[in-house]
Structure 1
């Protein structure tokens, strides 16, 4: 399980709302680790309104 802090570090400066593709691209460009990238790639395809939505989706998967 990836910590919410690691996810938020990878998504620092992210503009919301954002879809899964934008979130994954942002994390890649910020040098996120493999665990974080794997978790983000597993997100459901939808729009995320805020960082906590991303964390909730990951913790529920």
Structure 2
């Protein structure tokens, strides 16, 4: 797992409108100035829609 924190993820997804697709979240993270590592983690997340921040956290961090 890349060295990103839940706080970094929240900052990258600031302003997200849920439900949101993975591609929408990747675009938002880039627009919010997220670093390449965080964007790559989102790109590698399962495709589909996320109902909220908790869904994104589970996809990125699993059961950590």
Structure 1 length-normalised TM = 0.91
RMSD over equivalenced CA pairs, Å: 0.9
Q: Which runs of 5+ in 1 are unaligned?
A: none
Q: Which runs of 5+ in 2 are unaligned?
A: none
1:14-61 Cα offsets, whole Å, 9 max, x none, are: 10000001000000111101221111111100100001110110112x
Question: Partner residue of 2:56?
Answer: 54
Question: Partner residue of 2:35?
Answer: 33
Structure 2 length-normalised TM = 0.87
Structure-to-structure mapping, 1:9-24, within 5 angstroms: 9-24=11-26
